[in-house]
């Protein structure tokens, strides 16, 4: 078989975006690829069919740029959009009733597709085809293969800005498996810069440092705080660190540049950093491109607690919106206001617990100041406003604020209340004690 054959097949399947989106029918479920790999040309073309199509449901995730089927159809005449994990943009859409969240555990998302979901048309962005007819999923291994395996019709959008990225499993698709290909000019890749570390972030990171040692394997979650911890580790004396993370973010580039990250002590995938999706700045994207020290895997592998149980010293660092005195962790909503998603938080809390020497840290500043300048304690007696519980109290382990670090695992209700109140801002402690007393989780002998 001549190599030229793949180019011929590519040419035969090449369509304009307008031609390709003609494959969508009334009532279809359409899947868009995730994050920095979201389709751009196909989205614009599909949005042009507003008013003509009826009841088309589009699934997406971690959208960093405006989604045209939403923006061009705010009346939802033709399209309904739902997301597996909301960015700041999608959270605003949720508030306007233009986006609906799909609850999930990231390790299970692929199996939802394989077991239950219908995908009539998959629209997936990929790197340009290689000489053997393969398209790399680039920065978005994630759940891409499961979506494609489920889809009746596969349309690839080649994004010239997406590089080929090495993967251990489910990281590419062959031209022979595809129905249509589109190509065209794309804007530069969207970036998600890490927020600058605050003094409170640094104090929180200081609470975690005594739990780390040479050779530990890190997972850093989404948001400013986990990345601040990464920065502090980069400035420490720690060495020979490893990476096994769902989200590969800029914090890891800092660790690499500081000479800390060589994966040499890993008990699984020694010498290789493992990730599911890369999302950050162009500096991160440049580092990941054809980097033989990194391998992407699908989320049902990266986030599998059984896989994590084979990694000694797995340290998971994530953040949350608030915690109640029972130890329930809310990380994806504030009351009924949807903010982000469960993502991999529960997967990593479970897996780090199963890792020999592993630990799961969930971090927060003790208080939050809202847009009106009002300060609220993140530690509350109980959740009352519809706040979604992300990590249940049975799975919560180390909780960290700038005032300390406590381990809730195995602790009774009164011990939890006492430990969590010790993490609260002093201004809120008396109120929390009163709450604990009225909820009958405060011992007479508890410290005041």
Ligand X SMILES: CC(=O)SCCNC(=O)CCNC(=O)[C@H](O)C(C)(C)COP(=O)(O)OP(=O)(O)OC[C@H]1O[C@@H](n2cnc3c(N)ncnc32)[C@H](O)[C@@H]1OP(=O)(O)O
Whose structure tokens read 């971690």?
62
**Binding status of residue 247 toward ligand BUA by CB under 6 A:** yes
- Contact indicator for 297, 287 with CB cutoff of 8 Å: no
Best CA proximity match to 180, nearest among 209, 159, 153, 206: 153
Whether 223 has a binding-site annotation, put simply, is yes
**Binding status of residue 296 toward ligand X by CB under 6 A:** no
- Walk across the sheet containing 180-183 and list its strands: 100-101, 79-83, 56-60, 29-32, 119-126, 151-158, 180-183
- Contact indicator for 310, 304 with CB cutoff of 8 Å: no
Output 156 or 320, the one with its CB closest to ligand X. 320
Output 60 or 344, the one with its CB closest to ligand BUA. 344
DSSP state of 388: P
The H or E element containing residue 167 is none
Under rule CB under 6 A, which residues in 345-374 are in contact with ligand X?
A: 345, 348, 368
Write down the least CB distance from residue 267 to ligand BUA, Å: 23
Cα–Cα distance for residue pair 73/230, rounded to 1 Å: 41
DSSP state of 423: T
Binding site partner of 277, from ligand X, ligand BUA, none, Cβ cut-off 5-8 A by kind: ligand BUA
Dihedral sign, CA of 68, 73, 79, 81?
Answer: positive
The region of 46-54, 177-185, 293-301, 329-337 touching ligand X under the rule CB under 6 A is 329-337
**Binding status of residue 247 toward ligand X by CB under 6 A:** yes
Whether 441 has a binding-site annotation, put simply, is no
Instruction: Decide if 246 is catalytic.
Output: yes
**Binding status of residue 318 toward ligand X by CB under 6 A:** yes
Site string for ligand BUA, 77-96 (x = CB under 6 A): --------x-----------
**Binding status of residue 334 toward ligand X by CB under 6 A:** yes
- Contact indicator for 340, 222 with CB cutoff of 8 Å: yes
Whose structure tokens read 């949005």?
47
Helix axes 426-438, 413-421, angle to 10 degrees: 160
Site string for ligand X, 223-242 (x = CB under 6 A): xxx-----------------
Output 164 or 345, the one with its CB closest to ligand X. 345
The one among 64, 339, 354, 389 contacting ligand X by CB under 6 A: 339
Write down the least CB distance from residue 342 to ligand X, Å: 6
Site string for ligand BUA, 301-340 (x = CB under 6 A): ----------------------------------------
Region of 335 please: left (phi>0), alpha (psi -120 to 50) or beta.
Answer: left
Measured from the Cβ of residue 169, the count of other Cβ atoms closer than 10 Å reads 13
- Contact indicator for 293, 273 with CB cutoff of 8 Å: yes
Best CA proximity match to 330, nearest among 396, 413, 376, 374: 396
**Binding status of residue 425 toward ligand X by CB under 6 A:** no
The one among 60, 344, 351, 381 contacting ligand X by CB under 6 A: 344
The H or E element containing residue 308 is helix 305-308
**Binding status of residue 281 toward ligand X by CB under 6 A:** no
- Residues of the shown chain interacting with ligand X in the complex, contacts defined by CB under 6 A: 88, 91, 219, 221-225, 245-247, 318-322, 331-332, 334, 339-340, 343-345, 348, 368, 378, 390
Show binding-site residues for CoA: 221-225, 321, 344
Residues engaged in binding ligand BUA (CB under 6 A): 85, 106, 221-222, 246-247, 277, 343-344
Catalytic residue list: 246
């Amino acid at each position: 078989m001549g190599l030229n054959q793949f180019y011929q097949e590519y040419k035969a399947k090449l369509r304009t975006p307008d031609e390709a989106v003609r494959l969508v029918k009334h009532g279809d479920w359409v899947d868009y690829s995730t994050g920095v790999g979201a389709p751009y040309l196909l989205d614009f073309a599909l949005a042009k069919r507003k008013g003509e199509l009826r009841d088309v449901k589009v699934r997406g995730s971690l959208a960093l740029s405006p989604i045209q089927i939403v923006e061009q159809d705010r009346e939802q005449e033709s399209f309904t959009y739902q997301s597996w994990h909301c960015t700041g943009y999608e959270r605003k859409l949720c508030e306007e009733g233009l986006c609906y969240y799909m609850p999930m555990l990231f390790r299970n998302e692929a199996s939802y597709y394989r077991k239950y979901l219908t995908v009539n048309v998959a629209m997936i962005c990929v790197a340009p085809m290689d000489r053997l007819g393969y398209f790399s999923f680039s920065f978005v291994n994630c759940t891409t293969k499961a979506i494609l395996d489920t889809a009746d019709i596969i349309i690839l959008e080649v994004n010239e800005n997406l590089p080929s990225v090495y993967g251990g499993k489910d990281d590419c698709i062959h031209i022979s498996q595809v129905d249509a290909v589109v190509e065209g000019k794309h804007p530069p890749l969207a970036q998600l810069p890490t927020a600058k570390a605050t003094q409170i972030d640094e104090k929180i990171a200081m609470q975690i440092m005594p739990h780390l040692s040479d050779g530990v394997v890190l997972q850093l979650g989404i948001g400013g705080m986990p990345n601040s911890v990464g920065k502090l580790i980069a400035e420490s004396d720690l060495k020979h660190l490893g990476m096994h993370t769902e989200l590969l973010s800029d914090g890891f580039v800092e660790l690499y540049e500081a000479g800390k990250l060589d994966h040499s002590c890993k008990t699984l995938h020694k010498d290789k950093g493992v990730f599911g999706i890369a999302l950050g700045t162009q500096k991160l994207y440049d580092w990941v491109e054809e980097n033989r020290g990194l391998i992407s895997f699908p989320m049902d592998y990266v986030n599998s607690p059984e896989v994590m149980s084979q990694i000694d010293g797995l340290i998971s660092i994530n953040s949350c919106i608030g915690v109640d005195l029972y130890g329930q962790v809310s990380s994806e909503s504030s009351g009924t206001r949807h903010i982000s998603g469960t993502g991999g938080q529960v997967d990593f809390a479970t897996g780090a617990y199963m890792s020999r020497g592993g630990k799961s840290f969930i971090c927060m500043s003790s208080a939050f100041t809202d847009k009106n300048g009002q300060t609220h304690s993140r530690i509350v007696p109980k959740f009352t406003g519809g706040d979604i519980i992300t990590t249940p109290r049975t799975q919560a382990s180390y909780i960290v604020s700038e005032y300390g670090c406590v381990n809730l695992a195995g602790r009774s209700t009164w011990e939890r209340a006492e430990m969590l109140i010790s993490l609260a801002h002093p201004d809120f402690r008396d109120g929390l004690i009163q709450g604990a007393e009225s909820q009958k989780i405060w011992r007479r002998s508890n410290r005041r």
